[in-house]
Structure 1
């Protein structure tokens, strides 16, 4: 039973909703556990093709619960390493999940909260939202998210955000490549719904899963290894049921219905 996260499914969309608005959806061990459980559930749910990560309240996620961080200061190194691995596993889980994840960011995404949005495949936000990794301002470090951020926006922008700890506007976040789109608050939910529905209707879920998997893996390979891996995945995809269905429909000039 999840205490801080709500899970629901409507029309092949899995909704994972942070529900700790009184704490600005701050991350604690329990919140991370609930998120991991929710993403595992969505990953295995045959009724879910696209996942929408969202939050209740004014903030998307304020990062780590500072009271929780203070409590961790009395832990041993081994205990703190276990806790760090807990968050690492969540970020890696989202980044490599077999389904597309869209972050619906209705408010500020700070520190670990910005990390959550970073590891999603798409992020849509509102003009009022602020983004940033503020860890250096409290003597902490943005260690785990850095691995993903460097991949996403490159070294120069990553240094600018991680070393200054400054918050940036939603529009600046879009220019940096942190988020895909900025839409009016009143249009956010419908915009994300429409985008998710488009992915569900137009695209093969299996093909999106393969493509996402390859994007995660190929960046750490040499050119030769990456090309070999791509050729093997290409061959594997050709034998898939989705590929057979899609090519047959195309040749027969039929509309492909993936939903």
Structure 2
């Protein structure tokens, strides 16, 4: 990989953005490398939880503006293919079978903020800024808007997407965009401890099924959503993890996940 590194530590897979000289700005090759890395990590049985972080001063500055400029001579079909690749990356992370944690130690701007948005959990240091600044350069935050609406609702999404304002971690936390704030000297350990708790205390099957239920239930009516929930409840009872978990609980044994 040219722009992405992958490391494994005690069942925690680290996807590391590694284009620091360009503030980890995204281009077509970078997006494809990220898609490949996440797909490989999803299939890797030695990985239970995934953390996305970055080398350099920025988490991700969004799209590489030099790359965007070259796209201005493209046809609509060529631009659609390019934007579809980013859509596929965001959708892949959002719907991945494994939990994904964003560890944000530098500014997350535009598409970079989108990368954090689609993760299941976001840890950030107090000093970083978040923002969807596309409207300031005549662009639109199209793909991330669907995920942000789900995450924080219409009012807060409009406030961020239409203003293009940068917000710090404390405001992002109040908005529901960030889950935990940690000092830079502690964030590595805090993220690892959190990821390890998920690895040791939670069933992989249960987390996968819960993520899928959360994703699929939101567009349904109450009636249809409850039917889906009841069906998933029934399916969960038949899984090996559920049988193992209940047996361990009844026998007062510690569950080893």
What residue in structure 2 maps to residue 215 of structure 1?
214
Structure 1 distance, partners of 2:173, 2:30, is 27
Q: What TM-score do you get using the length of structure 1 for normalisation?
A: 0.98
Question: How far is 1:89 from its partner?
Answer: 0.4
Task: State the SS of the aligned residue for 1:196.
Answer: helix
What residue in structure 2 maps to residue 90 of structure 1?
89
Task: State the SS of the aligned residue for 2:192.
Answer: helix
| RMSD between aligned residues | 0.6
What residue in structure 2 maps to residue 38 of structure 1?
37
What residue in structure 2 maps to residue 171 of structure 1?
170
Task: State the SS of the aligned residue for 2:234.
Answer: helix
Question: How far is 1:7 from its partner?
Answer: 1.1
How far does the alpha carbon of each residue in 1:19-72 deviate from its partner, in whole angstroms, 9 at most, with x for none? 000000001101100100000001000000000000000100000000001011
How far does the alpha carbon of each residue in 1:68-102 deviate from its partner, in whole angstroms, 9 at most, with x for none? 01011000000000001000000000000000000
Task: State the SS of the aligned residue for 1:48.
Answer: coil
Question: How far is 1:256 from its partner?
Answer: 1.0
Whether 2:155 is the aligned partner of 1:156: answer yes
Question: How far is 1:125 from its partner?
Answer: 0.4
What residue in structure 2 maps to residue 247 of structure 1?
246
Structure 2: runs of 5+ lacking an equivalent: none
Question: How far is 1:222 from its partner?
Answer: 1.4
What residue in structure 2 maps to residue 112 of structure 1?
111
Structure 1 distance, partners of 2:92, 2:223, is 27
Number of matched pairs? 257
Structure 2 distance, partners of 1:91, 1:218, is 19
Structure 1: runs of 5+ lacking an equivalent: none
Structure 1 distance, partners of 2:201, 2:60, is 31
Question: How far is 1:221 from its partner?
Answer: 1.1
